[in-house]
């Protein structure tokens, strides 16, 4: 049975992992006959958002690993424990946590960087040509992990795509139900909630992403 490492960035679309995307990813992996383990960096969140009103919760701090544990019923490991030899592929879930905690994309725009732990993990899979899936805003990480010209999508947001393309991504516009496949690098991307208006719409592209990632790992 193929085993997939799923990378989370907290819990909640505005300051962590997009919960629908995370659950849909885990469900798709299991339904397609594979297994998964979840990982998150043991670091402080950039900030905490009140998801009821969208405001920053002042004087409150949370830990990315602790928050991510909410999604998988407590079964999440510290990202520094991830070893690429134990897995067939890696998938990065979206949500603003990918742009605030896993990287500084939401904060630094064209001068953004990727968290060192995240970069080490992602590059470890890339170095041995193991497949990877990135959804929603997570493809912003790609040009800092793979060689210049790696193909990917964040959907159809031209301004956001331009910032990532400036780092070296070859951006390809993509509908919510589709994926962009970079066969040379074994990378699969889908817009998910960059475009989705419902959980069922997000599910179509995420299911395809998992399907292609698993096919690359054969």
pLDDT grade for 109, boundaries at 50, 70 and 90:
confident
Enter the pTM of the model: 0.98
CA nearest 203: which of 195, 81, 166? Answer: 195
Domains along the sequence of the chain with CATH: 3-216 (3.40.50.880)
The confidence score (pLDDT) of residue 33 equals: 98
Q: How many residues does the chain have?
A: 218
- Tell me the residue ranges of DSSP E strands in 9-143: 35-40, 76-78, 89-92, 132-135
Count other C-beta atoms under 10 Å from residue 178's C-beta. 18
Tens digits of residue pLDDT in 90-102? 999 999 999 999 9
Residue showing tokens 């991510």:
68
Residue 110: is its pLDDT beyond 90?
no
Give the mean model confidence (pLDDT) for residues 135-158: 97
Pairing of strands 170-171, 151-152: parallel
Rounded to whole angstroms, the Cα distance separating 179 from 29 reads 16
Phi, psi dihedrals of residue 3, rounded to the nearest 5°:
-120, 125
Catalytic residues: 136
Measured at the CA of 118, the angle between CA 78 and CA 101, to 5 degrees, comes to 85
Rounded to whole angstroms, the Cα distance separating 154 from 108 reads 18
Tens digits of residue pLDDT in 171-191? 999 999 999 999 999 999 999
Give the mean model confidence (pLDDT) for residues 103-116: 95
The confidence score (pLDDT) of residue 204 equals: 98
């Amino acid at each position: 049975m193929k085993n997939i490492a799923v990378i989370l960035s907290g819990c909640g679309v505005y300051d962590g992992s997009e919960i629908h995307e995370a659950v849909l990813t885990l469900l798709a992996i299991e339904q397609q006959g594979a297994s998964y383990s979840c990982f998150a960096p043991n670091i402080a969140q950039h900030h905490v958002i009140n998801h009821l009103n969208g405001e920053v919760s002042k004087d409150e701090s949370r830990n990315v690993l602790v928050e991510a544990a909410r999604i998988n019923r407590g079964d999440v490991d510290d990202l520094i424990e991830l070893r690429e030899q134990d897995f067939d592929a890696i998938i990065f879930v979206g949500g603003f946590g990918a742009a605030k905690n896993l990287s500084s994309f939401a904060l630094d725009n064209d001068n953004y960087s990727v968290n060192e732990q995240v970069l080490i993990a992602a590059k470890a899979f890339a170095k041995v040509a193991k497949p990877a899936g990135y959804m929603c805003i997570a493809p912003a990480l790609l040009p800092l992990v793979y060689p210049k010209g790696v193909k990917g999508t964040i959907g159809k947001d031209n301004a956001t795509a331009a910032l990532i393309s400036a780092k070296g991504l070859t951006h390809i516009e993509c509908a919510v139900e589709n994926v962009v496949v970079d066969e040379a690098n074994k990378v699969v991307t889908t817009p998910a909630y960059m475009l989705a208006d419902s959980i069922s719409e997000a599910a179509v592209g995420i299911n395809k992403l998992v399907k292609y990632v698993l096919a690359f790992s054969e």
